[in-house]
Structure 1
Amino acid sequence: MTLAASVLSLFLVLAGCGNDDSSSSDAGKDAGGSAESVSWVANSVYPDSNHNGEGLKEFAEKLDEATDGQVKLEVQLGGALGYEGPELLSAVRDNAVPVSDMLTSGVAGDEPLFEIVTLPFLVQSFDEGKILNDIARPYFDQIAEEKWNQKILYVAPWPAAGFWTKNEVKSLEDMKGLKMRTYDKNGALVVEAAGGTPHPLPFSEVYSSLSTGVIDSVLTSTPTAVDAKFWEVLDYYVPANVTMATNFVSVNLDELNKLDKETQEKVINAGKEMEERMWQLGAELDKEKEAIVNENGITTLEPSQGFMDNLAEVTEHIRQEWLKGAPTEAQEIIEKFNKEVGR
């Protein structure tokens, strides 16, 4: 055999080996997608004792199992990444953090429709909160994907927000002059309408602000009260059902689209399962957390019907004014909701 023939023979052997490997790799992709795993940082401003922090950790486990380890979440809780909340819609859009838990109404400064979930005294029970979420969810999904480059994976409820105070609050007169922490625009408007002064503080500053007298009261739900150990700085809780907030967890759409279609579906389905679980847990959470604060010294003051009627009356303009300037989808959601609940 000549030298040229020997070289040609060796080249064909090596080329054949390469083709065999390539075919095997392509077949593997056709059968089940990329064998490489991805790891996404998942952000939350809440501690692991909060139901949203616990939920995000559980979702990470669920995702790992559903994708056979192909998609992992590196969960960072307690605001460890430095995000305070209002900027998170933009942060996920820009992939500054690929996955994040965020307060729905807390990012309404960037997306006004999200404010609908905390219109004061719109939702009058936990079941109605679920109805509103189910009606609004398709609208939220479309906006998140088309405008904010992210996919909402699941939505989780908070118990309804009430007033946490140092002194007894049994009437509108008692609300006057309160310096109350609020977490979104609607809550601030409620406090103003009732005669108090709203202070829009991030969760991380609530306890210290109460301790130093910057504020003397808080509008929030029972899980937050437990997280912040309100019994050390406050004495009373009025379960006025002012608003019922939700959080959602979303993933950057570019990151999601890097996965093969089968894995994407597994991620989305895991989110659906997590959402169902979070709403089941939410129904039990309020009483559980209220019992904890009561055991530690906070007294629950059930509001009278007269007090509730007065609160609804002085906040009616908030709902009406919001609807006037809200996105067109808002009126559709409200109409569907009122029809569903019979109002």
Structure 2
Amino acid sequence: MMSSIKHYLAPFIAPIALSALMLSAPAIQAQNITLKVIGQPLATGNIQKNREQPFFEQLAAKTGLPITVEYKPLDTLGIKDTEQLRIMKAGLFDMVSLRFSQNSRDEPALIGMDLVGGSPDYEKSRKVVDAWLPILDARLQKQFGIKLLGHWPFGPQMIFCKKPITQLSDVKGMKIRVADQSMAKFLELVGATPVPMAFTEVHQALSLGVIDCAVTGPSSANSAAWSEIVTHQLPLGFQMSMNGYGISLKTWNRLKPDQQAKLQAAFTELTNDIWKYSKELSDDALRCNEGSDPCTTGKKYKVKTVPVSEADIKLVGTAIDKVSFPAWAPVCDKTNPTCSADWKKTVGPIVGVK
């Protein structure tokens, strides 16, 4: 009896099954998401090369999510590092490896976690960043439609000069490349002339004598071959050069809650790893720049390391209360009236600003 029924229904089952498959195809396709990603510039070196790019290339396999990643380093796109927030807001990309200080003119709150004198080393910087992150994330979501998935530092930002220096005060009268206004204000305090400039333009500017010195991390200076031009490095940390990974809310909201959790977990693991890797790179690059061993991650040069004095450490330590916060607060309050008050409540106790 059963076999005769199956035989009778056979002509109808195949079309029905085919129709069901066709109906389900768009639903399956709709789950696939292409992520267009702006990465760090190739010129920034090891973090981009050894951590960031491999992570995005393996993201689908690592998370098991139905995504296709189209990862492009910033300097292969013809986009300036100061334009990232505007490009994300326009919906041209889904994710960004966001350079905080470079985009602070569009959103001053980005500098709140990296004011000069507030984050001189990794331990203190992590506390500052974690305290400010919820407020910054809410701000970026509201103003630019970007949700932050994590943060990490390039490392202590220091001065590299092509002219001899023996202490911080020797930069008086020199033209120094900076990435944000916080650093610019501090250098004005010590008598230098700050020159805002994109990272990718610095090597040529140093070569041509447009600038005398430049501020960046030791690993970035080595990777970008600044160390073949400069003669002196002063290993005195001013900031940590914070970066973060942001995803457009439109793309984020297309993901199911369990998919969001998997993606967030992957970025948390990545950024925790970069914090450790950044410290290793910075220590090694300082040795590489001066031609010392061990040098395992960079190229050896012959840059002279200037001893850091207690007076210079003290001067940088006073910067946040005397210069960087007073200069930044009204700028941030202009775009967000509660900005500096929020910062004092969350970050102030950590850095000693009341």
Calculate the TM-score normalised by the size of structure 2. Answer: 0.83
Contact 1:101 1:247 in 2 (8 A): yes
Distance, in Å, in 2 between the alignment partners of 1:243 and 1:72 is 35
How much has 1:133 moved relative to structure 2? Answer: 1.2
How much has 1:159 moved relative to structure 2? Answer: 0.9
Q: Secondary structure at the match of 1:155?
A: strand
Compared CA separation, residues 159 and 13, structure 1 to 2 (3 A): closer
Corresponding residue for residue 116 of structure 1: 112
- Aligned pairs for 1:62-211 within 5 A: 62-68=58-64, 70-77=66-73, 79-211=75-207
Paired residues, what number?
330
Tell me which of 311, 321, 329 is aligned to 1:323.
329
Q: Quick one: which amino acid aligns to residue 165 of structure 2?
A: V
Tell me which of 237, 253, 260 is aligned to 2:233.
237
Distance, in Å, in 2 between the alignment partners of 1:12 and 1:286 is 69
Superposed CA deviations along residues 201-224 of structure 1, whole A, max 9, x for unmatched, are 111111111111111110111122
Distance, in Å, in 2 between the alignment partners of 1:129 and 1:260 is 33
Matched, 1:304 2:322: no
Distance, in Å, in 1 between the alignment partners of 2:319 and 2:261 is 46
Calculate the TM-score normalised by the size of structure 1. Answer: 0.85
Q: Secondary structure at the match of 1:326?
A: helix
Contact 2:38 2:95 in 1 (8 A): yes
Distance, in Å, in 2 between the alignment partners of 1:255 and 1:46 is 23
How much has 1:301 moved relative to structure 2? Answer: 0.9
How much has 1:20 moved relative to structure 2? Answer: 4.2
Compared CA separation, residues 241 and 334, structure 1 to 2 (3 A): farther
Distance, in Å, in 1 between the alignment partners of 2:175 and 2:351 is 34
Tell me which of 16, 34, 59 is aligned to 1:39.
34
Tell me which of 299, 312, 336 is aligned to 2:346.
336
Compared CA separation, residues 54 and 333, structure 1 to 2 (3 A): farther
Compared CA separation, residues 219 and 51, structure 1 to 2 (3 A): same
Unaligned runs of 5+ in 1: 1-8
Q: Secondary structure at the match of 1:241?
A: coil
Corresponding residue for residue 266 of structure 1: 262
Contact 2:81 2:103 in 1 (8 A): yes
Q: Secondary structure at the match of 1:115?
A: helix
Unaligned runs of 5+ in 2: 1-8, 292-300
Q: Quick one: which amino acid aligns to residue 349 of structure 2?
A: K
Q: Secondary structure at the match of 1:169?
A: coil
How much has 1:191 moved relative to structure 2? Answer: 1.7
How much has 1:338 moved relative to structure 2? Answer: 4.3
Corresponding residue for residue 224 of structure 2: 228
Distance, in Å, in 1 between the alignment partners of 2:349 and 2:74 is 39
Compared CA separation, residues 53 and 95, structure 1 to 2 (3 A): farther
RMSD (Å) for aligned C-alpha atoms:
2.9
How much has 1:128 moved relative to structure 2? Answer: 0.6
